[in-house]
Amino acid sequence: MSRQVSRRARSRLPSPARRRFLARGTGLLALGLAGPMLLPSPVAVRARTGDGIHRKTIPGTEESLPTIGMGTYITFNVGPGEAARAPLAEVLRIFFDRGGGMIDSSPMYGAAETVLGDLLAALDYPPEQLFSATKVWTRGTNRGAEQIDESLHLWGLSRFDLMQVHNLVNWREHLETLRARRNHGEIRYLGITTSHGRRLDEFEQIMRDEPIDFVQLTYNVIDRWAEEGLLPLAQERGIAVIANRPFQRGTLFDRFGDQPLPAWAEQAGIANWAQFFLKFIVSHPAVTCAIPATSQPEHMRENMGALRGQVPDADMRAKMIEYIDDL
């Protein structure tokens, strides 16, 4: 896949590790453009369709994404020290090794993009299946363009797969910038985000009026408000959905983690609470992927387990809600 590096980003891509990473590009597998000649690593091969990994199609395209991605809020906002970064390097390795694709970040997340870029560059195999998603988060329109270039530099990429307007901040102007960039091939998809149920009327209006590819919103087994309006609307409008806060920032484990899993969990392909929560989310027909965040390798192993095995059907989803409501 050819890559267009903006002048600003090009001037800031000095490190050999980042150049190697850049040369490999992103999203090749997801695009179906990576034939056997472009698949040098057995790890990448393991992540291909047909390995039992659940994927969903981005509406209106031939491209599909693994249903479990990864968030970086708080978890990747750490300093340069080895003690803080070593577990995150392992988290990232497990994510790709087990077939992960989408990684979501934002300039709002402190050092997260810096840490992510450093750890991606240090991987000892090419993460062809990376689907890079970040956000623009600033009130200034010109500053937005600069911010995108800074993020490219931090991740070590020449373009993003997905660029989102974070929490609708200055969305009219930023969407215009993103459209222009998409037309020039500098980003592949564009979208908007919200969480916690903020600014929902405006969010819905943008989904109705603007040609956007992705929305990101909060959806989990407790926060199900999107089921009423936004999820059916996304289906109707052909917009991909990323579910953020899948564990309600960890509080689902605080509330339910000590409770027993239902007796039918094993039969339903659910080995732990993380898989219960994640399989519930990604089994909604409108949801394309969920993006749990973790700083712990063992938690990443649990989370990635939700990429395989049975997917709950409508009856099972109703049973899951009932079980949670009764706890």
Ligand X SMILES: NC(=O)c1ccc[n+]([C@@H]2O[C@H](COP(=O)([O-])OP(=O)(O)OC[C@H]3O[C@@H](n4cnc5c(N)ncnc54)[C@H](OP(=O)(O)O)[C@@H]3O)[C@@H](O)[C@H]2O)c1
Q: Which residues contact 219 (CB under 8 A, 6 or more apart)?
A: 226, 227, 231, 241, 243, 244, 246, 281, 284, 287, 290
Site residues for ligand X, 137-166, by CB under 6 A, read: 166
Closer of 33 and 86 to ligand X (Cβ): 86
Among 167, 170, 177, 288, which residue interacts with ligand X (rule: CB under 6 A)? Answer: 167
Assess 85 for contact with ligand X (CB under 6 A): no
With contacts defined by CB under 6 A, how many residues of the chain interact with ligand X? 30
Among 193, 282, 286, 316, which residue interacts with ligand X (rule: CB under 6 A)? Answer: 193
* Residue 252 to residue 277: CA distance in whole angstroms: 8
Structure-token match 């809020």, residue found: 73
Closer of 141 and 295 to ligand X (Cβ): 295
* Residue 28 to residue 232: CA distance in whole angstroms: 30
Interhelix angle 314-326/273-282, rounded to 10 degrees, is: 130
Assess 261 for contact with ligand X (CB under 6 A): no
Among 15, 89, 295, 317, which residue interacts with ligand X (rule: CB under 6 A)? Answer: 295
Site residues for ligand X, 221-250, by CB under 6 A, read: 244-250
Assess 98 for contact with ligand X (CB under 6 A): no
The window from 170-178, 182-190, 261-269, 285-293 that contacts ligand X (CB under 6 A) reads 285-293
Assess 253 for contact with ligand X (CB under 6 A): yes
CB of 53 to ligand X, least distance (A): 18
What residue number has its CB nearest to ligand X? 71
Among 72, 77, 129, 134, which residue interacts with ligand X (rule: CB under 6 A)? Answer: 72
- In the shown chain, the binding pattern of residues 100 to 139 toward ligand X, with x for contact by CB under 6 A and - for none, equals ----x-----------------------------------
Q: Which residues contact 191 (CB under 8 A, 6 or more apart)?
A: 162, 163, 164, 165, 212, 213, 214, 215, 216, 239, 240, 242
Assess 216 for contact with ligand X (CB under 6 A): yes
The window from 21-29, 67-75, 232-240, 281-289 that contacts ligand X (CB under 6 A) reads 67-75
CB of 267 to ligand X, least distance (A): 21
Assess 168 for contact with ligand X (CB under 6 A): no
Assess 291 for contact with ligand X (CB under 6 A): yes
Assess 292 for contact with ligand X (CB under 6 A): yes
Check: CB of residue 200 under 8 Å from CB of residue 176. no
Assess 296 for contact with ligand X (CB under 6 A): yes
User: Which residues in this chain contact ligand X in the complex, by CB under 6 A?
Assistant: 71-75, 104, 166-167, 193-195, 216, 244-250, 253, 274, 291-296, 299, 302-303
